[in-house]
Amino acid sequence: MATMQLHWDIFCRVIDNFGDIGVCWRLARQLVAEHGRKVRLWVDDLSSLAPLCPSVDSSRSAQVSHGVEICLWTEDFAVDRVADVVIEAFACDLPETYLAAMCQSATKPCWINLEYLTAESWAEDCQGMASPHPALPLVKYFFFPGFSARTGGLLREEGLLAERERYVSSVSDLRPLEISLFCYDSAPVGALLDALRDTTIPTVCHVPPGKPLAAVAAHLGGNGPWRVGMADIQPVPFVPIDDFDRLLWRCDINFIRGEDSFVRAQWAGKPFIWHVYPQDDGAHLGKLEAFLTTYGDGLETTAKTAIRRMFVAWNVGENMASAWQGFLENREAIARHNRAWAEHLASRPDLTTALVNFCATKV
């Protein structure tokens, strides 16, 4: 059984948003549902998982949902067993007691550092790289999600695109332009709302709670809903992770942020605008540029320029009105490209399958 690597432990620390736990939860569910693995998800903040999966009770330190054993990761971590595969998500650092137990195992587990998603070329060179521990008899492997065949791919459940098509076919075409607005608090939300006020297309903008809604309320005042020009700005409740997919499928344009919603917006096959997690040293702009270069390959010049201007305006906070107008004017071409882009990405192995196959070679 051990050689089949049936037991997996995933460790996740929640930083300040839902991206890290969203990725880990999707990975854990898929390992169980599609690969028959037995998974424990160790998370230090269960209250961040509960909104994504309402069946989770954040007051319980141990429980099972969707076949995944979910455990609260506390400072006084106690080891009862070591898994065949151990994933530290996003360099979260394993508990010292768990590392010690790994060293004592007769068969050393496959230790994976699941990295953040990037389109930067250096990730291809680092994919699968082995890193022997400087003091312990253990080896860690770096696994990079990505957009090319030389990376680990993207999280994608079996049948996801077919499910998307079934849902999209049920949505009426006789409706206003629908937008979802999911961003960090540094996004130029006020400038976008001003641009929507000048838009001549009937529009509905769905705004989830938290930072997006706070930014809208700060600019427009009150609690909403609001009417600006021909646009209805509507607060919406926080939805579970699968319902969020359906929101992206329904909307014509999706503003998304971070990593998890960034990937899901690409599977939606709809025009999207990505708000990169801001970094003080401006490194996020390099990540943005790398993605735009990869994503824009094969796209006609006018639409490619419109995408670039809108992404940069949204992340830098300048020239929003003209960038938004150009994006709208090229929306149909962008939508065609995004559907083709999603099919292109789906032609490669999904991240979970690639990870299972990679670990199978490290017995």
Q: What is the pLDDT of residue 351?
A: 98
pLDDT in tens, 136-160: 999 999 999 999 999 999 999 999 9
Put the strands of the sheet holding 272-275 in their side by side order: 226-228, 231-235, 203-207, 177-181, 253-257, 272-275
Whole-model pTM? 0.95
> Could you give the CA distance from residue 138 to residue 118 in angstroms, rounded to a whole number?
26
CATH of the domain at 92: 3.40.50
Residues 336 and 356 in one domain: no
The pLDDT confidence band at residue 19, using thresholds 50, 70 and 90, is confident
Residues 100 and 197 in one domain: no
Whats the size of the chain, residue-wise? Answer: 363
Q: What is the pLDDT of residue 258?
A: 86
Number of domains the chain contains: 2
Q: For residue 71, list its beta bridge partners.
A: 42, 62
The pLDDT confidence band at residue 197, using thresholds 50, 70 and 90, is very high
Q: Is the dihedral of CA 286, 289, 295, 297 positive or negative?
A: negative
Residues 197 and 341 in one domain: yes
Residues 93 and 170 in one domain: no
Residues 197 and 149 in one domain: no
Residues 171 and 138 in one domain: no
Mean of the pLDDT values across residues 205-220? 96
Residues 120 and 176 in one domain: no
pLDDT in tens, 20-74: 999 999 999 999 999 999 999 999 999 999 999 999 999 999 999 999 999 999 9
Residues 50 and 194 in one domain: no
Residues 305 and 354 in one domain: no
pLDDT of 168 above 50: yes
CATH of the domain at 278: 3.40.50.2000
Q: What is the pLDDT of residue 283?
A: 83
Residues 276 and 172 in one domain: yes
Percentage above 90 pLDDT, the chain: 91
Q: Taking a C-beta distance cutoff of 8 angstroms, is the pair 74, 62 a contact? A: no
Residues 353 and 342 in one domain: no
Look at residues 319, 299, 301 and name the one whose alpha carbon lies nearest to residue 309. Answer: 319
If one counts every other C-beta atom within 10 angstroms of the C-beta of residue 243, the result is 13
The parent domain of residue 272 ranges over 160-346
pLDDT in tens, 214-255: 999 999 999 999 999 999 999 999 999 999 999 999 999 999
| Type of residue at 181 | L
Q: What is the pLDDT of residue 3?
A: 54
DSSP string covering 3-35, please? Answer: GGT-EEEEEE---SSSHHHHHHHHHHHHHHHHH
Residues 20 and 138 in one domain: yes
Catalytic center residues? 20, 259
